Amino acid sequence: MKGNEAIAEGAIRAGCDGYFGYPITPQSEVMEYLFANKIKERTGMIVLQAESEIASIHMVYGGAACGKRVMTSSSSPGISLMQEGISFMAGTELPCLLLNVVRGGPGLGTIQPSQSDYFQTVKGGGHGDYKMIVLAPASVQEMYDFAKLGFELAFKHRIQVMVLSDGAIGQMMEKVELDEQVPRWTDAEIKAMSPWATTGKTPDRERNIITSLDLNPVKQEIININLQKKFKHIQETEVRFERIQCDDAEYLFVAYGSSARICQKAVLLGRERGIKVGLLRPITLFPYPSDELAKLAKQVKGMLSVEMSAGQMVEDVRLSVNGAVPVEHYGRLGGIMPAPDEVLNVLEQNFIKEKTYEPHTN
Amino acid sequence: MSHIPTRDEVIEPENLVYSRTCLLTDNALSYCPGCGHGTAHRLIMEVIEEMNLQADTIGVAPVGCSVLAYDFMNIDMQQAAHGRAPAVATGIKRLHPEKFVFTYQGDGDLAAIGTGETIHVCNRGENITVFFVNNGIYGMTGGQMAPTTLPGMKTATSPFGRDVETMGHPLKITELVAQLPGTYFVSRQSVHTPANVRKAKKAIEKAIQYQKLNKGLCFVEIVSNCNSGWKMTPLESNKWMEENMFPYYPLGDIKVPK
């Protein structure tokens, strides 16, 4: 199945209660798949096409505040419109699953794949001091798996989980191993699990209020400090990454998503050429595998951050290694994907051969 | 000297002719004295109590003067981003079709920044109830021009009066949504006299009862005063409202079930 279909199926099987979305290329298959699969009859899940991405994210807000497993998906320009709602969900600590199938920008840009929304996603695209858990799938299987994992993490930490994919992962077809249907939660389960949810005030408890407003700066600072504690705890406990041929590596690619797939091939090509090169693939972009990169910095002679962007994640690689090893960036822009031999050549030019390489500029 | 009765003597049960609904909290209202919001809050909560709907109700508060509505309404509530209450309520109602779901919004929230959400929630015929308090001004932010500000009306951002040539016309959004097939009951009321309070309460009752029929969206506008924003005494503002607001926003049912 397609990556976009896989995450839709993953959400259904993870016991998702509702999807609210608005069509945009290259991810419209998510909502199309849900409608085509008659999910109301299958699990009771609801799907609604909203009038805008802004409305979609606020419908997610309403559902999430009831303790339901809800989600939306979009692509870059649509995700920009959702930043208001994401910030409000950060402020109210509402769990939800979000998907960005990134396309090239800025503006309307292109419908081709890109990774240029890293800053927006990982550094907080909306207003205020907040973070989301960011999962970066590199296969159709991971698109499927991250729906369930995303909901688990979202409810474990009362946080928004963004699956940061791209047009290539969303559109490509691969085999997927499916697992059993997780039942949707009953109202009683929601009340027990999420006692904060607005389910109707009963005599046994005070009223539940979902709000991000507190005009008292002293209280608002405490709210913010508690949020930061949560993010720190997530940084300490939820880091996920994949090491590919890192054990004896002298040089390292750092790449996520589609770029990691390209670099995986480049590692094989490099090994054929006798270069001891490995790949560190961050699976969580927040929390970022900084400690692992710091360890690898003691082992390798150079790191190349490969991204389909002008250099966004490379800043986190540099912060992680803190000058211990040279870190370079290579990226293609505007919907162009680099080829494996292309990134390997850049690695060689940067760290092995004499530096004669001129970066690609057009 | 004659005996002046103490508070406790006055509130003997046999003297009690009216008591506050238990669905209003003990928090002091943050609204300006003379403002209609308090009465509107009270009426909605009274009806929810009388219909025994507290455990089934989820309300959505807006951004504006009534941003803190959840401080006063003793029900489960969500606070929405500016203008997005209809989308939030849609999310709730789709996942909880058995609950009574309402939004409480002002004119800036509902008829300016949230126009898209308002039109589409009505057009989808979501089975929710929208309470719309229209005072023709942005009260919370200090009296700026609203979409419903009358022609010639002076506000902080129309200091020489609203010039419809450059600032547009007051938006009759209630008449607009009444035309959509998704709305079931649309009414405009006020709460500035006892007679109007009784009429408004009847409209609120209908708007809540009809939600149970799943026939579409119920929309109740309450034309209200903003004595602070209009820079008048409460009594002056009510008189001004009768003389200026009501001709433009006439009271009464606009759409009733056939």
- DSSP state letters, A137-165: --SHHHHHHHHHHHHHHHHHHT-EEEEEE
DSSP state of A113: B
pLDDT of B29-55, one tens digit each? 999 999 999 999 999 999 999 999 999
Q: Is residue A320 domain-resident? A: yes
Q: Are strands B100-106 and B129-134 parallel, antiparallel or unpaired?
A: parallel
Q: What is the DSSP string of A301-318?
A: SEEEEEESSSSSHHHHHH
Query: How far is A358 from chain B, CA to nearest CA, in Å?
Result: 48
Q: What is the mean pLDDT of chain B?
A: 96
Angle in degrees, 0-180, between the axes of helices B85-95 and B115-123, rounded to the nearest 10: 30
> Predicted confidence band at A164 (pLDDT cuts at 50, 70, 90)?
very high
CA distance A308 to A112: 11
Q: Is residue B15 domain-resident? A: no
Q: Kindly state whether B49 is in contact with chain A, defined as any CB-CB distance less than 8 angstroms.
A: no
Look at residues A187, A222, A253 and tell me which one is the last residue of a structural domain.
A187
Q: Tell whether A248 and A343 lie within a shared domain.
A: yes
pLDDT of A261-315, one tens digit each? 999 999 999 999 999 999 999 999 999 999 999 999 999 999 999 999 999 999 9
CA distance B52 to A315: 57
Q: Tell whether A253 and A177 lie within a shared domain.
A: no
- Residue B17, pLDDT above cutoff 90: no
Angle in degrees, 0-180, between the axes of helices A217-237 and A140-157, rounded to the nearest 10: 140
Q: Is residue B233 domain-resident? A: yes
pLDDT of B68-113, one tens digit each? 999 999 999 999 999 999 999 999 999 999 999 999 999 999 999 9
Q: Is residue A309 domain-resident? A: yes
Quote the tokens at residue B51: 């219909």
Looking at residue A359, what is its pLDDT? Answer: 57
Which uninterrupted H or E stretch holds B138? strand B137-138
> Taking residues A174-186, what's their average pLDDT?
98
Q: Kindly state whether A19 is in contact with chain B, defined as any CB-CB distance less than 8 angstroms.
A: no
Q: Are A157 and A230 in contact (CB under 8 A)?
A: yes
Q: How many domains does chain A have?
A: 2
> Taking residues B231-253, what's their average pLDDT?
97
Cis, bond preceding A287 (omega within 30 deg of 0):
yes
Q: Is residue A298 domain-resident? A: yes
Query: Is B239 exposed, middle or buried, given 0-12, 13-18 or 19+ CB atoms closer than 10 A?
Result: middle
Is there a contact between B90 and A46 if contact means CB atoms under 8 Å apart? Answer: no
CATH number for A275:
3.40.50.920
Look at residues A159, A187, A215 and tell me which one is the last residue of a structural domain.
A187
Contacts with A41 (C-beta within 8 Å, 6 or more apart), sequence order? none
Q: Tell whether A150 and A267 lie within a shared domain.
A: no
Q: Kindly state whether B97 is in contact with chain A, defined as any CB-CB distance less than 8 angstroms.
A: no
Range B17-24, long-range pairs (CB < 8 A, 24+ positions): B21/B45, B21/B46, B21/B49, B22/B49, B22/B74, B23/B48, B23/B49, B23/B54, B23/B73, B23/B74, B23/B75, B24/B72, B24/B73, B24/B74
Q: Is residue B3 domain-resident? A: no
Looking at residue A361, what is its pLDDT? Answer: 55
Q: Is residue A360 domain-resident? A: no
Q: Is residue B211 domain-resident? A: yes
Half-sphere exposure of A19 (CA within 13 A, CB side): 34
Q: Could you say which of A84, A200, A207 has the minimum Cβ distance to residue B81?
A: A84
Q: Tell whether A267 and A331 lie within a shared domain.
A: yes
> Predicted confidence band at A360 (pLDDT cuts at 50, 70, 90)?
low
Q: Tell whether A276 and A182 lie within a shared domain.
A: no
Residue whose token pair is 């945009």:
A24
Q: Is A184 strand, coil or helix?
A: coil
Q: Are A101 and A167 in contact (CB under 8 A)?
A: yes
Residue of A nearest to B54 (CA): A201
Q: Tell whether A253 and A143 lie within a shared domain.
A: no
> Taking residues B232-245, what's their average pLDDT?
97
Q: Tell whether A67 and A181 lie within a shared domain.
A: yes
Looking at residue A57, what is its pLDDT? Answer: 98
Looking at residue B16, what is its pLDDT? Answer: 80
Chain A contact set for B74 (CB, 8 A): 201, 207
Q: Kindly state whether B117 is in contact with chain A, defined as any CB-CB distance less than 8 angstroms.
A: yes
Based on C-alpha coordinates, what's the Rg of chain B?
Answer: 19
CA distance B70 to B77: 6
Is there a contact between A50 and B120 if contact means CB atoms under 8 Å apart? Answer: yes
CATH number for A110:
3.40.50.970
pLDDT of A191-211, one tens digit each? 999 999 999 999 999 999 999
Q: Are A285 and A163 in contact (CB under 8 A)?
A: no
- Residue B1, pLDDT above cutoff 90: no
Q: How crowded is residue B193: how many other Cβ atoms within 10 Å of its Cβ?
A: 11
Angle in degrees, 0-180, between the axes of helices A3-13 and A140-157, rounded to the nearest 10: 40
Q: Is residue B150 domain-resident? A: yes
pLDDT of A100-129, one tens digit each? 999 999 999 999 999 999 999 999 899 999
The total number of residues written for chain A in this structure: 362
DSSP state of A169: H
Angle in degrees, 0-180, between the axes of helices B85-95 and A53-64, rounded to the nearest 10: 50
Q: What is the mean pLDDT of chain A?
A: 96
Q: What is the pTM assigned to this prediction?
A: 0.95
Residue ranges making up the domain that contains A23: 3-187
Is there a contact between B120 and A199 if contact means CB atoms under 8 Å apart? Answer: no
Phi, psi of A67 (to 5 degrees): 80, 15
Looking at residue B5, what is its pLDDT? Answer: 79
Look at residues A141, A170, A187 and tell me which one is the last residue of a structural domain.
A187
Looking at residue A101, what is its pLDDT? Answer: 98
pLDDT of A22-70, one tens digit each? 999 999 999 999 999 999 999 999 999 999 999 999 999 999 999 999 9
Is there a contact between B120 and A88 if contact means CB atoms under 8 Å apart? Answer: no
pLDDT of A316-330, one tens digit each? 999 999 999 999 999
Q: Kindly state whether B94 is in contact with chain A, defined as any CB-CB distance less than 8 angstroms.
A: yes
Looking at residue A223, what is its pLDDT? Answer: 97
Quote the tokens at residue A199: 């389910």
Is there a contact between A70 and B91 if contact means CB atoms under 8 Å apart? Answer: yes
Q: Is residue B75 domain-resident? A: yes
Q: Identify any residues that bridge with B218 across adjacent strands, giving them in sequence order.
A: B129, B185
The predicted complex's ipTM stands at 0.94
> Predicted confidence band at B13 (pLDDT cuts at 50, 70, 90)?
confident
Instruction: Return the closest-CA partner of residue A72 out of A16, A113, A117.
Output: A16
CATH number for B145:
3.40.50.970
Is there a contact between A65 and B92 if contact means CB atoms under 8 Å apart? Answer: yes
* Residue type for position A101: V
Instruction: Return the closest-CA partner of residue A346 out of A362, A325, A360.
Output: A360
Q: How many domains does chain B have?
A: 1
Is there a contact between B54 and A200 if contact means CB atoms under 8 Å apart? Answer: yes
CA distance A154 to B107: 35
Is there a contact between A198 and B80 if contact means CB atoms under 8 Å apart? Answer: no
Q: Is residue A213 domain-resident? A: no
Half-sphere exposure of B141 (CA within 13 A, CB side): 15
Q: Identify any residues that bridge with A330 across adjacent strands, giving them in sequence order.
A: A306
Looking at residue B8, what is its pLDDT? Answer: 78
Q: Are B65 and B139 in contact (CB under 8 A)?
A: yes
Which parts of chain B fold into alpha helices (H)?
A: 7-10, 37-50, 69-72, 85-95, 107-108, 115-123, 164-167, 173-178, 194-211, 227-230, 234-240, 246-248
